[in-house]
Structure 1
Amino acid sequence: MDLKQAGSSLDSLISSFNTRILDLQELVIGRNMYPATSVPDLSAVDTAVKAMEFQVQAIKDRLREETEAIPKAKKLIDMSLRQQKKLQHMLAHMPPRLLESVTVSNRNPSNCLMQESSNHDFHLGSLKLDEEPVALPKEKKGRGSAPLWYVTAEELDSLSSYMRGRLTLDKVNAAINDMAAYAETNAQLIAAPKKKLAEGSWEKALELRDIAMTEAVKGKHFFLESDIKGPALKLDNTGKAILTVLRHLGRISEARIGHHRVIILSKPQ
């Protein structure tokens, strides 16, 4: 290596050291340029962070309270719905005279308030919100025996041979006897007080009462498809054929209520 190249390398090394020293000096100057204002800025940042932490904690507490209140709200809603059903049931079975007086008093409260107050207190005081089903009014068909609308030989002969099949008049009318027995049993369950029912019958009685309040069934005798257990009517091919014939002859009608297939006894036209 000649002297010229050695001098050039030394100059480059010295220049590199000088550049590094300048960089370090700038870093030191930048760090210590505003020492008086850096502390308040950091304090302000710390205060803001703490305020945000308090807000987040308040949000967490509120969410916990709302979560704990959800089961109570669900229970309250369930109780309100049950109460609403009871009130609707009582309104549907309210005596006509009382219903008319309530309607008139609602339209003319200033004229009827004093006249009807004692009468309302007497009637409304007897309406108890208990768990027992309310008995159907006397004018409803459910209070009487289930009807027996037998099929005549002429009606059976009027059917096509395909629909009639091997059914006989005795089989069809025996099935009508069974259906009347099913409907009568359900009517007794609906009207029976809780204390007179067996342990496993109360839930079915409540379910039957709800079905009896629907528009399709109200005031009529009915039974469920699950009630069909013989002796004459069964859920076999013969039983299904009998139901088809009776539906065609207007002795029964059907409705789907909830998960139940409800069969309603109908008067032939």
Structure 2
Amino acid sequence: MSELEQISQHVHSRISSLKLLLDLSLTDVSQSKMKKLGQEIFAVDRLLEEFEKCVERQREQLRSLKDLEESFQKNLEDVTHMKENIPSHMPKREGPAQGRELGVKPSEAADVQPLQQEQVKKSSRSFIREMDFITVLEFDSIPQYMRGRVSYEQLNATVQSINTAVTAKYKILHQPVKTLNNQSRKLQQRFKEQETKHTKGQFFVVEEDIREFTQMKVDKRFQGILNMLRHCQRLKELRGGGLTRYLLL
């Protein structure tokens, strides 16, 4: 039984006693009965005050519960929105810094350093850089006039296509010539001829690579998307020799 219910029963009990005393007083009014009647009235008055305080506490609890319900409802709406709008592409998490691999003690570093250097040389020849996907915050930061009707998913689909072209191109570049067929040898030669002193150590593609290795149309819309990627600092242009090279940042 709640506090409010207990006080309510007590008040009703006191009122019943008071009614009984009043009924008795109609037949025989004595000094003792009047005193008892006054005590009962005073007790009922104090109970009513306590009852009012209890009602106010209950109201305050009700307001707190309503605030809690509103907060819970808002959190539920936020979680539901997040669940229904999970980005199809998430930023990649960078791996551990070189030379800080787990399980290698400082005393063992000198022993493994020559082996690591050899592995780095081998991996550097096979490593192919990819463009990071655009985050939702980055997409929202792009001016509306630049975005036009391009959606978040369409922008990252272009990122995926560029990564596909970069991977295909540099896989051919990293292979020994004797392992390539005639078509791949021609492509490798073309890739090497497109390189300049400014692209040394960089990863880039040209429009011809996009057409060669993807199904994407290289049109005005594609150029608009490239502007968005430059705005998000994913690539930059390098012109020369009649070509526009798109370097990954």
Higher relative contact order (CA 8 A, sep 6+): 2
Q: TM-score, normalised to structure 1's length?
A: 0.43
Larger Rg: 1
Q: TM-score, normalised to structure 2's length?
A: 0.46
